[in-house]
């Protein structure tokens, strides 16, 4: 059972999704070309890869990271690591533009002085999806998470505090940012299977990056 929220805002608008969760429409639109260049530099060092879950499934979403810590999963479980297991080297550094966007988006949603130490970058191709989960591997749950969407549109599933709670469907577009913290920080969420709606700059690809404060 799904509830439609109709958050089809104009660039510059802010749609509340919960008491401490906001969709900032088009928040990074002025920076998308520069963000794409930075992501290409990051993935040149630490490429997207399809990781294995502890349940034995290969994720349909390709992952990489930048920042001091990166989120990884394998057959043994999830963890944040300072080293990319694929290269044996530290993850690429968080570019200054990323840090500025994360801080300003968090501030717009009411969270002052957000300084992330991790940025998980997800790459979706048509058919890729993210099943319902909670982000709870971060030690500091008082900090918000900031999510930036680029390329093809997607539909977020925005649930409650139990996996079985009713989910809302929230469409997100190229340039949108979602911030969630406070009582919304541990909500279940996911991404519906992507449909192919090629984007002028990103083609048949969606990139999402999430800024987190882990430690
Ligand atoms: C959290 N990625 O990497 S956050 C993840 O589009 C992840 O790739 C999403 O979830 C993606 O862990 C971006 C989407 C999201 C939506 C609603 C939420 C996260 C939420 C509601 C509450 C808490
Ligand atoms: Fe998540």
C-alpha 200 to ligand 1 mean position (Å): 24
pLDDT for the residue numbered 209: 98
Query: From the CA of 190, how far away is ligand 1's center (Å)?
Result: 6
Among 50, 135, 185, name the best residue to mutate to test ligand 1's pocket (greatest count of ligand atoms within 8 A of Cβ).
135
Q: Which residues contact 100 (CB under 8 A, 6 or more apart)?
A: none
**CB of 122 shorter than 6 A to ligand 1:** yes
Task: Report the nearest-CA residue for atom 19 of ligand 1.
Answer: 189
Beta-carbon contacts of 57 under 8 Å, excluding residues fewer than 6 positions away, are: none
Domains of the chain in start order, with CATH, are: 3-212 (2.60.120.590)
Residues paired with 179 in a beta bridge = 22, 146
What pTM does this model have? 0.95
Distance, C-alpha 120 to centroid of its chain: 7
Tell me, using a 6 A CB cutoff, whether residue 65 lines ligand 1: no
Please tell me the predicted confidence (pLDDT) of residue 6: 47
pLDDT by position in tens, the chain (length 215): 344 444 568 888 999 999 999 999 999 999 999 999 999 999 999 999 999 999 999 999 999 999 999 999 999 999 999 999 999 999 999 999 999 999 999 999 999 999 999 999 999 999 999 999 999 999 989 999 999 999 999 999 999 999 999 999 999 999 999 999 999 999 999 999 999 999 999 999 999 999 999 99
DSSP string for residues in the chain:
-EEE----PPTT-EEEEETTEEEETTTTGGGHHHHHHHHHHHHHHS--B-PBPTTSPBPSSEEEEEESBEEEEETTEEEEESB-TTTSSBPPPPPHHHHHHHHHHHHHTT--S---SEEEEEEE-TT--EEEE-----S-TTS-EEEEEEES-EEEEE--SSTTS-EEEEEE-TT-EEEE-GGGTT--EEEPPPP---BTTTBS-EEEEEEE---
Instruction: Please work out whether the CB of residue 103 comes within 6 Å of at least one atom of ligand 1.
Output: no
CB atoms within 10 A of CB 57: 12
Instruction: State in Å: Cα 39 to ligand 1 middle.
Output: 19
């Amino acid at each position: 059972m799904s509830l439609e929220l109709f958050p089809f805002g104009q660039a510059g608008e802010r749609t509340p999704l919960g008491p401490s969760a906001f969709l900032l429409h088009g928040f990074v639109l002025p920076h998308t070309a520069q963000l794409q260049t930075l992501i290409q530099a990051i993935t040149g060092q630490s490429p997207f890869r399809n990781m294995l879950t502890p349940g034995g499934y290969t994720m349909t979403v390709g992952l990489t990271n930048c920042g001091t810590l990166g989120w990884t999963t394998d057959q043994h479980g999830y963890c944040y690591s300072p080293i990319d297991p694929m290269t044996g080297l530290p993850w690429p550094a968080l570019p200054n533009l990323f840090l500025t966007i994360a801080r300003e988006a968090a501030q717009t949603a009411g969270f002052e002085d957000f300084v992330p130490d991790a940025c998980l970058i997800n790459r979706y191709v048509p058919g890729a999806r993210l099943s319902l989960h909670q982000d709870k591997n971060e030690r500091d749950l008082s900090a918000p998470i900031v999510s930036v969407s680029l390329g093809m549109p997607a539909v977020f599933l925005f649930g409650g505090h139990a996996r079985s709670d009713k989910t809302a469907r929230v469409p997100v577009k190229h340039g949108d940012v979602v911030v969630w913290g406070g009582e919304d920080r541990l909500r279940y969420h996911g991404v519906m299977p992507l449909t192919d709606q090629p984007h002028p700059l990103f083609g048949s690809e969606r990139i999402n990056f999430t800024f987190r404060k882990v430690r």
